Amino acid sequence: MQAIRAQVVVSQASQAAAKPRMALPAAVVRPLKAVGVSVASLALALSANAATVKLGADSGALVFEPSSLTVAKGEAVTFVNNAGFPHNVVFDEDEVPAGVNADALSHEDYLNAPGESFSVKFDTAGDYSFYCEPHQGAGMAGKITVN
């Protein structure tokens, strides 16, 4: 259910991002591209929380919620600290597409405050696995598929 909602929201964000690219001259498009992440984040914030991953379930369970989701290439996923923190998000260098810098995607600093968040943009299609270092032993891990 949540994975389906994620795909719907992402396609809306893609359409919003594509419009100015076709309608506006290059001089305008270039600065728009520079703020591409912010535009995507805004689109996501205005929609349901579908491309948002909670760190810790509302119940307090030590999981990513959802733990599996699919986004379109170029879209961002926002990780939001929710419960049971501190958490962090580490992408495994062996579990990302070839040529992708797992360290650059990871957020190894602990998120300690409620609602603390960060966004990661995925520019390469493929499967990405990640985990929370403090809770890896408890099974706090997730997967993002980028199409």
Q: Are 108 and 133 in contact (CB under 8 A)?
A: yes
Is there a cis peptide before residue 114, judged by omega within 30 degrees of 0? no
Measured from the CB atom, is 132 or 146 closer to Cu ion?
Answer: 132
Active-site residue, 132 included = yes
Q: Considering the complex, what minimum distance in angstroms separates the CB of residue 140 from Cu ion? A: 5
Tokens found for residue 71: 């986004």
Alpha helix ranges (H) inside the chain: 2-23, 26-34, 36-46, 102-105
Q: Considering the complex, what minimum distance in angstroms separates the CB of residue 87 from Cu ion?
A: 3
Mark residues 69-108: x for contact with Cu ion by CB under 5 A, - for none.
Answer: ------------------x---------------------
Exactly one of 63, 64, 135, 144 binds Cu ion (CB under 5 A); that residue is: 135
Query: Binding of Cu ion at residue 146 (CB under 5 A)?
Result: no
Residue among 2, 20, 11 nearest 43 (CA):
11
Active site residue 140: yes
Token output for 35: 């703020």
Q: What residues make contact with Cu ion under the rule CB under 5 A? A: 87, 132, 135, 140
Active-site residue numbers?
87, 132, 135, 140
